[in-house]
Chain A
Amino acid sequence: MSEFWNLLWLPLCIGGAVFVLVAALAPLEALTWWAGWSSQPAPDTPLPTVSARADLASAYVVYLSGVAAIDPSGMHPKEKAFLDGLETAMSDTTVVRDVFAYSATNNSLTGERALSRMWQRINALSVKRGKRITDWAGLGLVILRNLTQILVSADSRYGPIFSFGVAKGIAERLQYHGYVFGARAPVILLGYSGGGQVAVGSAPYVAQILRRPVWVIGIGGVYSDDKGILFVEHLYQLTGTRDYTWRLGDICFPGHWRIFPHSAWNRARRQGLVSFINMGPMKHTLKGDYFSRSAKLPDGQTHAAKTIATIAELVAHAQTQAQVASDAKG
């Protein structure tokens, strides 16, 4: 037993030190941006003026990727194919896919930042992932970096700054894709895995900037006990029976525990703001996940097709709700 520990303690210590270092640096991006110390445009930089377009979409879905995301423009082919499928299924809906969920300044890892060359290299290797151990180490580093940004989002001290930054990025990209402030079209934040927490965290600020309600759809989303959940119109959580990752939120964040009935998460559950949708035997990631085109459900439908159909249905439902609310207002 002692030999086992002798072998284990050094990697554990190194792992712990790396985690503490990465976590300690994590809030700095959002904080220095807010304080005006970074090279990124300041928080009070006006949103770019974009001419309104005649071909308004009937709904806007903003996709926030999972913790393995490096650069929205260099998405993994499986994820990209899934979003293409989503666009095809909802031809009147605009899918905004150029928001990087793990940065308060919508600055992807390959963007203008100190370690961008390292991330670019990891991104280039990510497509042929699985060949070498270094590829997996690179992926681990990306996940660790983005995971600590989820902790920033979940933190009541840094979370509002981070979430406001993400919300501003979302508003900018929505405008770029033709959204007009005050439009009737609903805005739906679609968060995969850790993107779910980022969606819930930023939803109140998106709603505040747009002055419109915001819906959130989580694909195996992992959530903290962020107060933002009380400000979403509704959270639809898609869960696979073979996906155990989304339950991490229930374990790691005390606000999910029943002994804290007044936490935001538990209040939202009681108020009926959260719905869980069973997706069948889907996994969180890799073969058989929500985006899988090869894995099939017992009824013969591919996982990707089922996920797309479910999201399209929910978006249609949000459209109806937005329409009703708008009509009621006159």
Chain B
Amino acid sequence: MGAFIAQVWQLLVGALTFDAAQLGAALAAPLQTNPYTAVILTIALLAGISELLGDSVVWFVNRVRPTRLVVSLALEGVLVVVKLFFWAFTIWLVARALYATERALGDIFLAVCLGSAPFVFGVFIFLPYLGQGLRWLLSVYSWLLTVLLVALELQFGVVPAIVCTLGGWLLIQIASAVLTRPRELFQDWAWRKTTGAPPLVAFDAQLEELTRRLQGDARAQPKT
């Protein structure tokens, strides 16, 4: 166990410092036989949990009961994995289409998982005001790391790696726009099932309703 934690720590530091030699070694073998697979997935898990905690404001805003938090956290965790997988899939698609690579999707998934390493600091997104800037910083940090990892994984230069990651991102934006309604329906359904709270309501709408009620109360005061 101690050795595993040491491996996680070592690879995490390597990822955060863009240590190409160490990262290249970690991604050298295919997913099934890669001795680093568990280490990389643990890093992605830590980053995912940290980012979720940083984003926990959504639970407070929507008044989720504390007892439902764990279930909600688990679902959000699954969604984080789905997002990573989808990004890996789009990178794989672009790489195949433009550069005719033969690398398996699973291997690129590993690279993308490791690329999320900077989000181990994601919990600090919770910090007031500074957290918002930090989110951008971590996103850029994570993207740059993913570019390096894709370049190492596919034995590309920097430019094709940038094309693949940006191309993948673009595909996600297109899919997201096309599938907005089904995505919202699924999110609402998952939210209700896991949190037990009413469907997600925009904060502004909540405030408007609240203000209306307060005004109603205030108007009811007796005049002398």
B82 within 8 A of A: no
B222 within 8 A of A: yes
**One of B84-92, B126-134, B146-154, B178-186 at the interface:** B126-134
A53 within 8 A of B: yes
A157 near B59: Cβ-Cβ < 8 Å: no
B132 near A156: Cβ-Cβ < 8 Å: yes
Interface residues of B in 18-48 (CB under 8 A from A): none
- Distance in angstroms between the alpha carbons of A37 and B67 in the assembled complex: 12
Chain B contacts of A160 at CB under 8 A?
203-204, 207
Q: How far is the CB of A74 from chain B (nearest CB, A)?
A: 26
Band of interface residues on B: 20 to 34
Q: How far is the CB of B158 from chain A (nearest CB, A)?
A: 29
B224 within 8 A of A: yes
- Distance in angstroms between the alpha carbons of A155 and B203 in the assembled complex: 14
Chain B contacts of A50 at CB under 8 A?
221
Chain B contacts of A49 at CB under 8 A?
217, 220-222
Band of interface residues on A: 35 or more
B129 near A171: Cβ-Cβ < 8 Å: no
Chain A contacts of B221 at CB under 8 A?
49-52, 175, 180-181
Q: Tell which of B59, B128, B207, B222 touches A148, judged by Cβ atoms closer than 8 Å.
A: B128
B140 within 8 A of A: no
B222 near A209: Cβ-Cβ < 8 Å: no
- Distance in angstroms between the alpha carbons of A164 and B210 in the assembled complex: 10
Q: Tell which of B124, B204, B215 touches A181, judged by Cβ atoms closer than 8 Å.
A: B215
B63 within 8 A of A: yes
Q: Tell which of B57, B60, B63, B214 touches A47, judged by Cβ atoms closer than 8 Å.
A: B214
Given the known interface contacts A205-B207, A211-B215, the answer about A26 and B128 at a Cβ–Cβ threshold of 8 Å is yes
Name 6 extra pairs, CB < 8 A, besides A37-B66, A49-B217, A171-B218.
Answer: A35-B59, A36-B63, A49-B220, A53-B224, A154-B128, A164-B210
10 pairs of A and B residues whose beta carbons are closest in the complex: A31-B60, A151-B128, A46-B217, A151-B129, A181-B218, A152-B128, A35-B60, A155-B128, A155-B129, A35-B63
